[in-house]
Amino acid sequence: MAGNRGVVYQGPGRVEVADIAYPEFVLRDGPGVNPANVGRQLPHAAILKVVATNICGSDQHMVRGRTTAPQGLVLGHEITGEVVETGPGVEFVGVGDLVSVPFNISCGRCVNCKARRTEICLNVNPDRPGSAYGYVDMGGWVGGQAKYALVPYADWNLLKFPDRDRALEKILDLTMLSDIFPTGYHGCVTAGVGVGSSVYVAGAGPVGLAAAASALLLGAAVVIVGDMNEARLAQARGFGCETINVAEGDPGDQIEQILGVPVVDCAVDAVGFEAHGSGKDAGKEAPASVLNTAMEVTRAGGSIGIPGLYVTGDPGAADEAAKVGSLSIRFGLGWSRSHAFFTGQCPVMKYHRELMAAILADRVRIADAVNAVAIPLEEAPQGYRSFDEGAASKYVLDPNGYLGAAAS
């Protein structure tokens, strides 16, 4: 049996790459595993040799100590891999297949899965609807920032790439299918982005940049990205977006300088609960700031997509209300403007096959848009530090040398 290494959360601000258990076709007890999931038999699962696994902003929330994640949790929910073993219940996925893994774990059998709401599957997480790999309160499924990972309900969950050689040529793009590309796209779809739209995307991190690229793919006329990080704003300008630095003044005023009016057709919140204020309040944490700004700059009748993460437990929040996810949202403003709000995880399976086709047909270069940078698995702690310091990069871990081989 091969050895396994993975990225392990060791407490606020600390991750390390350590020896971890090789996957089995049963869910063992461990950090974060719900007791009701311990011993769960997985004949429907596949074991993957990980081709690429990405550091996500959602991982960073845990590493900063802004969730109730337990020490010892193996991180990582953005996984692309090669199937090396399948359980006896797997029929359509075979050894040697290159596959993308949706970060949502879903059964394919419950009422929500059958309605394409795989982000709120009812059968894989005893804590609440919805599940993910290597994430707090998501059932305890082991994370994929590792050399090997296990995927339950493999026939249902895995997206097979149609051609191995072609996939390896575009692997940095295809690895974004596990989360941030569909998530950014979902934010735009739910916001109502279409041909000729004007769109405000709050946040120029990887999800915000993926949302901006998605808005252009959907035909938006103008995409305005707001952030305080000039390097990330430059990344957005590099593929055709307008940008505003929200630390330099009111976002509505800056939008008016671009469009001639202080409102857009729709907005996407790609920031989430660790938001900061704008203008004179730019240095202060204000978890409702982005949501309130989105309402202020979205025209009456417009929609706001919210792929940015909001949580029910934030021990590091600035006030007691925010520690349980209670935010001072100007709901009356949204109501008065008849805004529509769309929240929750992205149902990756709703979009990933079509987005894969767009990548393979050279309709979008998502790895360039988010500035994907491949690093070895053992350099994951440095990747986390650089990302936390505001690097304008999407760090892609290369646990088994596939990315280096593809680049050579």
Provide the 3-class DSSP secondary structure of residue 147.
coil
Task: Check whether 328 has a pLDDT greater than 80.
Answer: yes
67 CB contacts (<8 Å, ≥6 apart)?
Answer: 61, 136, 311, 313, 314, 315
Our measurement of the distance from residue 366's CA atom to the centroid of its chain's CA atoms, rounded to an integer in Å, reads: 14
Burial class (CB in 10 A: 0-12, 13-18, 19+), 278: buried
| pLDDT, tens digit (0-9, with 9 covering 90-100), for 88-147 | 999 999 999 999 999 999 999 999 999 999 999 999 999 999 999 999 999 999 999 999
pTM of the model: 0.96
pLDDT on residue 407: 61
Architecture in CATH of 5-179+347-407: Alpha-Beta Complex (3.90)
What is the distance between the alpha carbons of residues 144 and 152, in angstroms, rounded to a whole number? Answer: 13
End-to-end C-alpha distance for the chain, whole angstroms? 29
| pLDDT, tens digit (0-9, with 9 covering 90-100), for 293-322 | 999 999 999 999 999 999 888 888 888 998
Task: Check whether 343 has a pLDDT greater than 60.
Answer: yes
Task: Check whether 408 has a pLDDT greater than 70.
Answer: no
Q: Tell which CATH classification among 3.30.2350.10, 3.40.50.720, 3.40.640.10, 3.40.50.10610 matches the domain 180-342.
A: 3.40.50.720
Annotated domain spans of the chain? 5-179+347-407, 180-342
pLDDT on residue 318: 80
| pLDDT, tens digit (0-9, with 9 covering 90-100), for 368-377 | 999 999 999 9
Under a CB-based contact definition with an 8 Å cutoff, are residues 386 and 393 in contact?
yes
